Chains A and B, each alone.
Chain A
Amino acid sequence: MPAAEQPTRLIGNRVLLTLVITCLLGVGLLPFASMAPNRLLSGQSVSAWVAFEPWQLATLAGLLVLLTLAACERGLSRQTSHGLALAAALGLLALDFVALGGYAHRALAEASPTARVSQGSAFWVLLFATGLIMVDALQRLRPPPLWRALYAAVALLIVVACFTTTLLSPLSIMREFANQRGNFVDELLRHLTLVAGALMPALAIGLPLGLLARRRPGARNALFSVLNVFQTLPSIAVFGLLIAPLAALAAALPWLRELGVGGIGAAPALIALVLYSLLPIVRNTYAGLAGVAPGTLEAARGMGMTSGQILWQVEIPLALPVILSGLRIVTVQAIGLTVVAALIGAGGLGAFIFQGLGQYAIDLVLLGAIPTIVLAVVADFALQLLVALSRPSRAGQGKTT
């Protein structure tokens, strides 16, 4: 952007300003927390004016002023503005948790033991707006992958610190967690096992199929039509459809039943997850391989590389960023779909969600939903980082201004 343009634009970063206004409106108008006499009754709203201590309100105001300054980009370089936004966002993240935890401690000190404090919509607005401010500033600043990872680690550390200390322990969702502690770890591990157990066979089948699609144009159309059909089937329908044949199979073959295969449970969940993962993997593998320049392949053949050497030393390294993008899509997708698999008894974090829905205990639902979202976001971020690192033309180059 030419420097001459700056004075003519009043606001440098309109996205950031919008998010700041969203924070203001959310905190001003929406309930920040709610207080209920027990876990099943719905509570009474508590506004931020009550929940925040005076110093917390002052800090909030200060951070929002800083962010507004960063959004205007007046008298600040773009780099400084984005850096300022990133720093203020970390403060906002910590403040959101500290204010909620602090209020819960104070409110429950003089209430009955069954009373519950839950987070309100203003808390969520503040949290998501903070997340978006971070993403927006990172995208504008374009730091090298390692700096991005470092910043994400700091943000994650703040969140982990809030959860591992006693700060949030009086909250209703944390009490649900305390009640389910043993279950929670089990279900989290089961969730991760299901995702990994689906991705491994999906890669083992999908990568060769992608290669086949590249090598045999005749097979390509048939392959993609079949995979497209899988992708369009609703997941619940697939789970339902698999119950009957798998139950019959398990009945016919006792050794399968001994392995744990049945109409419900992990087996149909894994089969469905693999089927859903295939299309993105095969499509991206094919696209990555097809994207290798014909001249590069001609030179490789002309210099006497064997077809195996061309595949491993040329085609796969060059296709890797696209293949990893496919893996990123299916990983995030599998983490989400595994939630639904709880319906057919496969377990996982979805178990809390459906249990909570049945009991009308919203905090139990959140105990399943929030970790799922965190898992998906972390997996997405980590694989994005891998994609960035696998690009040869970007890696050695660093930042150019």
Chain B
Amino acid sequence: MIELQGLTKTYAGKTVVDDITLTFGTGEFGVLIGPSGCGKSTTLKMINRLIPLSAGRITLGGEDIATLPVEQLRRRIGYAIQSTGLFPHWSVARNIATVPQLLKWPKSRIDDRVDELMTMFHLDPAAFRDKLPHQLSGGQAQRVGVARALAADPEVLLMDEPFGAVDPITREVLQAEMRRVHQQTGKTIVFVTHDMDEALSLATRIALLNDGRLIQYERPVEMMVDPADDFVREFIGQADLGLKLLSRRWVHQYQRPPSLAPADALPEPGSHWWLVDDQGRPTALAGARLDDEDAVTRVKAEWVATPEMSMKEALSRMVWYRVMALPVVDGDGKLIAEVGMQGVMGMENSVQTPPATLASTAVRPGETAPTASDGKPA
């Protein structure tokens, strides 16, 4: 979808982006990451020509972007930034409608699209349509900013540290929404951040930059398992590497059928089972407590897992609520599986050879695995 070829930017003799070559495939969630001043934002802004390139070439869907009229190019590319850049004198709806209006869509189509996007980002259209940006919280404003970037259904979405200025709790909620929106829309996204945890939770491919050069371009798990050099290893951080890996693993890869209460006999000592109500929802867990093996624990909403939850979060809940297993429920709250502490440990033995299920979540169908040449430049 987007190919950067020998991309270079020099300011007054200083090279800030140095010969970067990489490809973001269709549907890729590509993250540009690196320390401050590594050239990640500059690289992003060269894609929509906010910054002219000094050398190299960028193609979008095979077309050289230098050959396209610049306004036309930008209307094909969604753009969201850290300060949101919402127009303070326009309502939320008018802000979201910016690009469709530039493209002269008919009014009814714009209205429908605005409502659709506001619903997608959990902003009630009736309540938020006519609000002005200064009446929104930071998280709401950022949602409007991303909705505005997606309004005209662009081929590509560029995001420049969009969640850098919101509080940590809101940031996690927004990241989860971004993952969901990416899955729903299949958009090609290029996302700039300096936060490795954010990159690991969002990216299908991470491009790590330092001093304007591309150090490694790789899927998140592979980058953790097989860092190109000490800089990459250090940047990822070694201390909680195990937890970082778990942030890229999903409950549905680890879950197993739930053990239900035996009908006729007492359970064996050391085992556990789930009690369910008549609609199949888990109500209590017998056993599987660290402190008291025979305890019966009432199931609370806070420690229920879903198949899409990361294993890092599942593990965190197990530790915090002191249980050895979590119930996995579907959208209706029905018990469909369980995930346990033993499962986490057992699966991690196979880390050196990532399981096939992992690849299916990290790489979309039709996309080829990275080759040595674009993954690790000399």
When the two chains form their complex, are residues B73 and A299 in contact, meaning their CB atoms are under 8 A apart?
no
Residue B274 CB within 8 A of the other chain: no
CB-based A-B contact count at 8 angstroms: 68
CB-nearest residue of chain A to B71: A304
Chain A positions 332-370 with a Cβ under 8 Å from a chain B Cβ? none
Using known A-B contacts A296-B86, A393-B88, determine if residue A302 contacts B132 with beta carbons closer than 8 Å: no
- Chain A positions within 8 Å of B72 at CB level: 304
Contact with B along A280-322 (1 / 0, CB 8 A): 0000000000000111111111111110010000100110000
CB-nearest residue of chain B to A390: B89
CB-nearest residue of chain A to B79: A302
When the two chains form their complex, are residues A301 and B74 in contact, meaning their CB atoms are under 8 A apart?
yes
When the two chains form their complex, are residues B99 and A304 in contact, meaning their CB atoms are under 8 A apart?
yes
- Chain A positions within 8 Å of B83 at CB level: 293-295
Chain B positions 76-94 with a Cβ under 8 Å from a chain A Cβ? 79, 81-89
When the two chains form their complex, are residues A304 and B81 in contact, meaning their CB atoms are under 8 A apart?
no
Give the docked Cα–Cα distance between A200 and B98 (Å).
33
Residue A392 CB within 8 A of the other chain: yes
When the two chains form their complex, are residues B81 and A295 in contact, meaning their CB atoms are under 8 A apart?
yes
- Chain B positions within 8 Å of A301 at CB level: 50, 74
CB-nearest residue of chain B to A396: B132
- How far is the CB of B365 from the nearest CB of chain A, in Å? 31
When the two chains form their complex, are residues B85 and A304 in contact, meaning their CB atoms are under 8 A apart?
no
Residue B8 CB within 8 A of the other chain: no
- How far is the CB of B154 from the nearest CB of chain A, in Å? 10
When the two chains form their complex, are residues A304 and B102 in contact, meaning their CB atoms are under 8 A apart?
yes
Residue B134 CB within 8 A of the other chain: yes
Using known A-B contacts A298-B85, A299-B86, A304-B102, determine if residue A393 contacts B75 with beta carbons closer than 8 Å: no
CB-nearest residue of chain A to B135: A397
- How far is the CB of A12 from the nearest CB of chain B, in Å? 32
- Chain A positions within 8 Å of B75 at CB level: 303-304
Give the docked Cα–Cα distance between A299 and B99 (Å).
11
Contact with A along B144-184 (1 / 0, CB 8 A): 01001100000000100000000000000000000000000
- How far is the CB of B68 from the nearest CB of chain A, in Å? 11
- How far is the CB of B80 from the nearest CB of chain A, in Å? 8
Give the docked Cα–Cα distance between A202 and B291 (Å).
83
Residue B48 CB within 8 A of the other chain: yes
Size class of A's contact patch?
A: 20 to 34
- How far is the CB of A300 from the nearest CB of chain B, in Å? 7
- Chain A positions within 8 Å of B84 at CB level: 295, 299
- Chain A positions within 8 Å of B82 at CB level: 295
Give the docked Cα–Cα distance between A396 and B72 (Å).
34
Interface of A, helix, strand, loop or mixed by DSSP: helix
Chain A positions 100-125 with a Cβ under 8 Å from a chain B Cβ? none
- How far is the CB of B103 from the nearest CB of chain A, in Å? 9
Give the docked Cα–Cα distance between A295 and B85 (Å).
5
When the two chains form their complex, are residues B132 and A298 in contact, meaning their CB atoms are under 8 A apart?
no
- How far is the CB of B363 from the nearest CB of chain A, in Å? 29
When the two chains form their complex, are residues A306 and B85 in contact, meaning their CB atoms are under 8 A apart?
no
- Chain A positions within 8 Å of B86 at CB level: 296, 299
Which residue of the partner chain, among A295, A304, A309, A318, contacts B89 with CB atoms under 8 Å? A318
CB-nearest residue of chain B to A295: B83
When the two chains form their complex, are residues B50 and A302 in contact, meaning their CB atoms are under 8 A apart?
yes
When the two chains form their complex, are residues A299 and B79 in contact, meaning their CB atoms are under 8 A apart?
yes
- Chain A positions within 8 Å of B70 at CB level: 304
- How far is the CB of A314 from the nearest CB of chain B, in Å? 6
Give the docked Cα–Cα distance between A302 and B149 (Å).
10
- Chain A positions within 8 Å of B73 at CB level: 304
Contact with A along B169-208 (1 / 0, CB 8 A): 0000000000000000000000000000000000000000
- How far is the CB of A295 from the nearest CB of chain B, in Å? 3
- Chain B positions within 8 Å of A317 at CB level: 89
Using known A-B contacts A309-B102, A318-B88, A392-B88, determine if residue A303 contacts B79 with beta carbons closer than 8 Å: yes
Give the docked Cα–Cα distance between A306 and B73 (Å).
12
When the two chains form their complex, are residues B87 and A296 in contact, meaning their CB atoms are under 8 A apart?
yes
When the two chains form their complex, are residues A304 and B88 in contact, meaning their CB atoms are under 8 A apart?
no
- How far is the CB of B146 from the nearest CB of chain A, in Å? 12
- Chain A positions within 8 Å of B158 at CB level: 302
Which residue of the partner chain, among B48, B85, B102, B132, contacts A296 with CB atoms under 8 Å? B85
- How far is the CB of B136 from the nearest CB of chain A, in Å? 12
When the two chains form their complex, are residues B48 and A302 in contact, meaning their CB atoms are under 8 A apart?
yes
CB-nearest residue of chain A to B145: A299
- Chain B positions within 8 Å of A318 at CB level: 87-89
Give the docked Cα–Cα distance between A391 and B219 (Å).
49
- How far is the CB of B283 from the nearest CB of chain A, in Å? 47
- Chain B positions within 8 Å of A298 at CB level: 50, 81, 85
When the two chains form their complex, are residues A302 and B89 in contact, meaning their CB atoms are under 8 A apart?
no
When the two chains form their complex, are residues B89 and A303 in contact, meaning their CB atoms are under 8 A apart?
no
When the two chains form their complex, are residues B50 and A392 in contact, meaning their CB atoms are under 8 A apart?
no
- How far is the CB of A73 from the nearest CB of chain B, in Å? 33
Which residue of the partner chain, among B48, B85, B134, B148, contacts A393 with CB atoms under 8 Å? B134
Which residue of the partner chain, among B85, B102, B134, contacts A299 with CB atoms under 8 Å? B85
Give the docked Cα–Cα distance between A393 and B91 (Å).
10
Give the docked Cα–Cα distance between A296 and B84 (Å).
8
Give the docked Cα–Cα distance between A293 and B84 (Å).
11
- How far is the CB of B20 from the nearest CB of chain A, in Å? 20
- Chain B positions within 8 Å of A306 at CB level: 71
Give the most central of B75, B84, B88, B134: most A CB within 10 Å.
B88
Chain B positions 7-49 with a Cβ under 8 Å from a chain A Cβ? 48
- For the complex with contacts A304-B75, A314-B87, A393-B134, 8 further pairs of A-B residues with Cβ separation under 8 Å are A293-B83, A299-B81, A300-B85, A302-B74, A303-B75, A303-B99, A393-B88, A396-B132
Closest 7 CB pairs of A and B: A299-B85, A295-B83, A304-B74, A302-B79, A304-B75, A392-B89, A295-B85
- Can you list 5 residue pairs at the A/B interface with Cβ under 8 Å? A296-B87, A300-B85, A304-B73, A305-B102, A392-B89
Chain A residues near B (Cβ < 8 Å): 293-306, 309, 314, 317-318, 392-393, 396
